[in-house]
């Protein structure tokens, strides 16, 4: 049986993202959102989560292109004087792998991000990462220890069929091929540990290779070929104008992605295909 989870990343990044998440939940197909603990609009996102308790919230672990939860003095080798991580994910990934002196700082910050969300009264349903940094081998080793401790039972494995994606979105073929190879390797590395811990994951994740371009047109073409089992589609919805969205992701089609989640045509097509929309607990959204 085909089943579908629809989530939003970057919850808490800005008011424009937060308003889009709430709209996508109330009038659209959204079932979950992944929150950024160190982001400027975190408190606003917590308020939205509290008044919409059935909206499942996951941790959007942020270790690049974002702000830390711990003060800069506790993370002298990870962040700048303002508490910001590197904006260069490649260089950050290399440092996190080869500089063993960063391990303890990374572990303290990762745990602090988990705790900040839990202390806000939010039960974490899943875990993923900004730019999929949660799959980085060093970061994943830390998460293997922390997830059972904090009751996190679902994890995003960033694996997506390249051939299926390119059938409908021919942009960035070389870049997508590299991403497929990298994330495929990281997924193969992580999966046995997740299985051993009993941590669940979707069979496939849509949004990895066409991040920021999950439009209604693309979704309508893609859903016919969903695999059996559980698929997650993640989006980056937003309401513009919003300075933080435009600064961080100027090429993303935030409003088009929001339109896709709230599309009556998409809803009708999924109904015709008899694909239920659910959250990570298996609760079907009406």
Could you state, in order of their start, the residue ranges of all structural domains in the chain? 2-272
Q: What is the pLDDT along the chain (286 residues), one digit of tens a residue?
A: 999 999 999 999 999 999 999 999 999 999 999 999 999 999 999 999 999 999 999 999 999 999 999 999 999 999 999 999 999 999 999 999 999 999 999 999 999 999 999 999 999 999 999 999 999 999 999 999 999 999 999 999 999 999 999 999 999 999 999 999 999 999 999 999 999 999 999 999 999 999 999 999 999 999 999 999 999 999 999 999 999 999 999 999 999 999 999 999 999 999 999 999 999 988 998 6
pLDDT at residue number 278: 96
pLDDT at residue number 281: 86
Q: Judge whether 12 and 39 are in contact, CB under 8 Å.
A: yes
Sign of CA dihedral 281, 118, 92, 207: positive
Name the nearest CA neighbour of 138 among 94, 75, 172.
94
pLDDT at residue number 286: 67
Name the nearest CA neighbour of 281 among 121, 91, 57.
57
Tell me if the bond preceding 67 is cis, omega within 30° of 0: no
Domain 2-272 has CATH 1.10.10.10: no
**Strand, helix or coil at 149?**
helix
CB-CB neighbours of 115 under 10 Å: 14
Query: CA distances (Å), 200 to each of 192, 280, 284, in order?
Result: 11, 9, 18
CB-CB neighbours of 27 under 10 Å: 11
Tokens of residue 76, six digits = 């002298």
The tally of CA atoms less than 13 A away on the side-chain side of residue 228 is 1
Q: What pTM does this model have? A: 0.96
Strand intervals (E) in the chain: 2-11, 32-35, 56-61, 124-129, 204-206, 229-235
Q: Judge whether 279 and 285 are in contact, CB under 8 Å.
A: yes
Per-residue DSSP letter, 238 = -
């Amino acid at each position: 049986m085909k089943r579908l989870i629809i989530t939003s990343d970057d919850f808490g990044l800005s008011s424009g993202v937060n308003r889009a998440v709430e709209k996508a939940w109330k009038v659209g197909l959204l079932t979950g959102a992944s929150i950024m603990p160190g982001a400027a609009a975190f408190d606003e996102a917590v308020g939205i989560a509290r008044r919409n308790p059935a909206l499942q919230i996951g941790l959007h672990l942020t270790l690049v292109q974002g702000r830390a939860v711990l003060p800069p003095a506790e993370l002298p080798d990870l962040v700048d004087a303002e508490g910001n991580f590197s904006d260069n994910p490649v260089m950050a990934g290399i440092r996190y792998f080869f500089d063993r002196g960063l391990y303890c700082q990374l572990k303290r910050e990762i745990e602090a991000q988990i705790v900040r969300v839990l202390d806000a009264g939010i039960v974490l349903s899943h875990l993923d990462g900004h730019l999929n940094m949660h799959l980085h081998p060093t970061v994943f080793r830390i998460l293997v220890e922390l997830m059972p401790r904090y009751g996190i039972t679902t994890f995003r494995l960033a694996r997506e069929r390249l051939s299926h994606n390119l059938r409908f979105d021919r942009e960035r073929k070389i870049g997508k091929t590299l991403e497929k190879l990298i994330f495929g390797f990281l997924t193969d590395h992580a999966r046995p540990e997740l299985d051993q811990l009993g941590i669940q994951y979707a069979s496939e994740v849509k949004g990895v290779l066409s991040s920021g371009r999950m439009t209604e047109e693309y979704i309508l073409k893609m859903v016919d070929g969903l695999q059996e089992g559980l698929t997650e589609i993640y989006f980056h919805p937003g309401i513009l104008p919003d300075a933080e969205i435009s600064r961080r992701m100027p090429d993303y089609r935030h409003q088009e992605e929001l339109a896709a989640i709230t599309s009556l045509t998409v809803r009708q097509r999924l109904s015709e295909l008899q694909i239920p929309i659910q959250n990570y607990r298996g609760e079907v959204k009406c």
